[in-house]
Amino acid sequence: MVLQDVSRETRERLQIYEALTKKWTKRINLIAPSTVPELWERHIVDSAQLYEFIPHCVESLVDFGSGAGFPAMVLGILASEQRPEFTVTCIESDSRKAVFLRTVAREVGANVRVLNDRVEAIEPLEADLVTARAFAALPSLLDASERHRKPEGVSLFPKGKSYEKELAAAQKMWDFDFKAHASQTEPGTFILEVGAFARV
């Protein structure tokens, strides 16, 4: 079960994050108001399930369009105790959301830095791992991954029930290895794991 075996300290950090998200959502549009009552399951647990797909050799993560920080902030918090060398970079163009993310990182003591800019405007980051949740369709995600991910790295993209349409569109432009892992939190949704890829 997701988050069942985390330490008390990690759970407390996640609870601080949850409380800050609820507080800030009243002022800025971090998450849909309708999802606030189920924030823990809908956003935190849903993000945490990506952790098991992160290879042990991975030391750096870049998240596109981080928004409220899902999944990147959750992954950074989970790594804080077990993998202190693991660094997370959140890219967020909205300055208010960037301030929120920096506040969370400071309050929970996570190894997370925030870049307040557009993904395409930032110098290549050479990350081992790329994540993005509700940021763009797969073809655009692969474009951004080509800029910011090491060729031997991996990308993890939570996707909805129509992910196969995105796959078909991406395969017209890209040749790539992938696995689709069924979500543990929402039936019919998936975590798309993308390995090596190249333009067709």
* Domains defined for the chain, CATH in brackets: 8-199 (3.40.50.150)
Instruction: Give residue 2's pLDDT.
Output: 75
Per-residue model confidence as pLDDT tens digits over 139-189? 999 999 999 999 999 999 999 988 899 999 999 999 999 999 999 998 889
Q: Is the bond preceding residue 71 a cis peptide, omega within 30 degrees?
A: yes
Quick one: pLDDT band at residue 5, thresholds 50, 70, 90? Answer: confident
Instruction: Give residue 8's pLDDT.
Output: 94
pTM, two decimals, is: 0.95
User: What is the C-alpha separation between 176 and 167, in angstroms, rounded?
Assistant: 10
User: What is the C-alpha separation between 148 and 163, in angstroms, rounded?
Assistant: 22
Instruction: Give residue 134's pLDDT.
Output: 87
Tokens matching residue 107 = 């309050």
User: What is the C-alpha separation between 80 and 148, in angstroms, rounded?
Assistant: 23
Instruction: Give residue 3's pLDDT.
Output: 87
Question: What residues have CB less than 8 Å from 34, skipping those under 6 apart?
Answer: none
For 30, 31, 114, the CA distances from 39, given in Å and listed in that order, are 11, 9, 22
User: What is the C-alpha separation between 44 and 108, in angstroms, rounded?
Assistant: 14
Tokens matching residue 156 = 């993890």
Instruction: Give residue 96's pLDDT.
Output: 97
pLDDT (mean) for 115-121: 97
DSSP for residue 26 = T
How many Cα atoms within 13 Å fall on the side-chain side of residue 12? Answer: 7
User: What is the C-alpha separation between 182 and 200, in angstroms, rounded?
Assistant: 27
Chain position carrying tokens 């998450």: 31
Is the pLDDT at 1 greater than 60? The verdict is no
pLDDT (mean) for 4-11: 92
Question: What residues have CB less than 8 Å from 44, skipping those under 6 apart?
Answer: 3, 14, 17, 18, 70, 74
Quick one: pLDDT band at residue 4, thresholds 50, 70, 90? Answer: confident
